Chain A
Amino acid sequence: MQIEREAWAVLLILLLAAAVAYAHVTTTTEEYSRYNTGWNGTSALPAEEVRDLRNLDTAATLLILAPDRPFTAEEVGYLRTFLDAGGRVVIADEQGAANSLLADLGSTMRVRPGNLSSLERDRADPGIFAARVVGNTSLFAGVGTVLVNRPAAVTGGEPLLETAALTWEDADGDGRISGDEVFGTAVTCAAEGNLTVLGDESLFINAMLAENPQFIENIQPVQVDRIHSGTGTANPIVNTRLWIQETPPAAAAVAALAILPVAWHFGRKRDD
């Protein structure tokens, strides 16, 4: 009896250690990743993921968050179909990677990446400040100001979010206006019909969801384009798990792998 108890204790310790390792290995620290439970992940954003741009549901808003992959001509066609059918597309980008997509879609809006900083703020960092809602759209209904986090400026289109007058582009990154930097208002969100370009991807990270609750509520229901958004992960274990979940044969194989040894152990005749 004693020996078996010892074995169980060892097994318990192993399980605990394995749980620790699992918890560490299945979450990441990549920016915007849905598997990042930290402050800069998007694990808390209530959204469903779509892998295919064909036949999208026009009732939900399509969110392209931090796009890092180019769109093929086919995909641009699907997007245009979606827009024409009345679906709403929100492109959140502050790196400028969406500019080629915007050009393909025939839009005049462009994202101008930079380091917008403002003097009129209530936090110690010049990159976090409140932008005023101008323009009339359901996306910002009931919202007076939106807290933005190091946004980029958006040119063209009908302005929806405007910064205060004492905002400047901090080219040398010293946190204060110096050299030949000038003050001026900037637009951080613009729209053309159903297509909205938001110059701040950071509005959707876990730490910022609580700062703009009305906006997050207005944008629901939302579907995130998994192929092109930066919400994936390079972690091979998470990707393997996802692949297993999506491919039914693989899931069946894993289940069989788990059940067979147990069945064999209890099924064979015990010779005492």
Chain B
Amino acid sequence: MAGAKKYYAAAVLAVWLIIIAFFMVLSRTLDLEVFFVLALIGLLVVAVLIDGAFSRPRYMRYIGYIIAAGVALFAYIVVQKILEILAA
């Protein structure tokens, strides 16, 4: 089944995002930065698991750029938090 893996990956990512949202709503604390970091972790895990070693399907072609952008944003958030802690 071509593309079954694609759907499974998308479904797992969606379920992961819903789980994060569920716990955030339950504890009534909505924090965009925490949500983004957890979503990035999910994306990275899914990308590693579905990556074939020697074949790169079309839907995996540009994931490198998305991951690079996500990691750049993550680094920005981390350094800003560190600066906040140092300044306090």
Q: Does A38 contact B (CB under 8 A)?
A: yes
Asked if residues B28 and A13 are in contact (CB atoms below 8 Å), the reply is no
- Given A13-B14, A16-B15, the answer on whether A6 and B7 have CB atoms closer than 8 Å is yes
Asked if residues B11 and A9 are in contact (CB atoms below 8 Å), the reply is yes
User: B21 to chain A: which residues have CB within 8 Å?
Assistant: 20
- Given A16-B15, A16-B18, A17-B18, the answer on whether A2 and B1 have CB atoms closer than 8 Å is yes
User: B11 to chain A: which residues have CB within 8 Å?
Assistant: 9-10, 13
User: B18 to chain A: which residues have CB within 8 Å?
Assistant: 13, 16-17, 20
User: B15 to chain A: which residues have CB within 8 Å?
Assistant: 12-13, 16
Complex: A270 Cα to B4 Cα, angstroms: 29
User: A251 to chain B: which residues have CB within 8 Å?
Assistant: none
Asked if residues A20 and B22 are in contact (CB atoms below 8 Å), the reply is yes
Complex: A156 Cα to B28 Cα, angstroms: 42
Q: Does B86 contact A (CB under 8 A)?
A: no
Q: Does B85 contact A (CB under 8 A)?
A: no
Tally chain B residues at the interface, Cβ within 8 Å: 13
- Given A2-B1, A13-B18, A16-B18, the answer on whether A24 and B25 have CB atoms closer than 8 Å is yes
User: A19 to chain B: which residues have CB within 8 Å?
Assistant: 22
Tally chain A residues at the interface, Cβ within 8 Å: 14
Q: Does A263 contact B (CB under 8 A)?
A: no
Please name the residue on chain B nearest to A14 by beta carbon. Answer: B18
Q: Does B19 contact A (CB under 8 A)?
A: yes
Please classify the interface of chain A as helix (H, G, I), strand (E, B), loop, or mixed, using the class held by over half of its residues: helix
Q: Does B26 contact A (CB under 8 A)?
A: yes
Complex: A37 Cα to B26 Cα, angstroms: 10
Q: Does A23 contact B (CB under 8 A)?
A: yes
Complex: A19 Cα to B22 Cα, angstroms: 8
User: A20 to chain B: which residues have CB within 8 Å?
Assistant: 18, 21-22, 25
User: A6 to chain B: which residues have CB within 8 Å?
Assistant: 7
Complex: A10 Cα to B22 Cα, angstroms: 17
Asked if residues A23 and B1 are in contact (CB atoms below 8 Å), the reply is no
- Could you tell me the distance in whole angstroms from the C-beta of A174 to the nearest C-beta in chain B? 28
Asked if residues B7 and A16 are in contact (CB atoms below 8 Å), the reply is no
- Given A13-B11, A13-B14, A13-B18, the answer on whether A2 and B28 have CB atoms closer than 8 Å is no
Asked if residues B26 and A23 are in contact (CB atoms below 8 Å), the reply is yes
User: B7 to chain A: which residues have CB within 8 Å?
Assistant: 6
Complex: A248 Cα to B36 Cα, angstroms: 46
User: A16 to chain B: which residues have CB within 8 Å?
Assistant: 15, 18-19, 22
User: B4 to chain A: which residues have CB within 8 Å?
Assistant: 2
User: B14 to chain A: which residues have CB within 8 Å?
Assistant: 13
B residues 1-42 with Cβ under 8 Å of A?
Answer: 1, 4, 7, 11, 14-15, 18-19, 21-22, 25-26, 28
User: B26 to chain A: which residues have CB within 8 Å?
Assistant: 23
Point out residues on A near B: beta carbons under 8 Å.
Answer: 2, 6, 9-10, 12-13, 16-17, 19-20, 23-24, 37-38
Q: 10 A-B contacts, Cβ less than 8 Å apart?
A: A10-B11, A12-B15, A13-B15, A16-B18, A16-B19, A16-B22, A20-B21, A20-B22, A23-B22, A23-B25
Closest 4 CB pairs of A and B: A20-B22, A16-B18, A24-B25, A23-B26
Given contacts A2-B4, A20-B18, A23-B22, 5 further A-B contacts (CB under 8 A): A6-B7, A13-B18, A23-B26, A37-B28, A38-B28
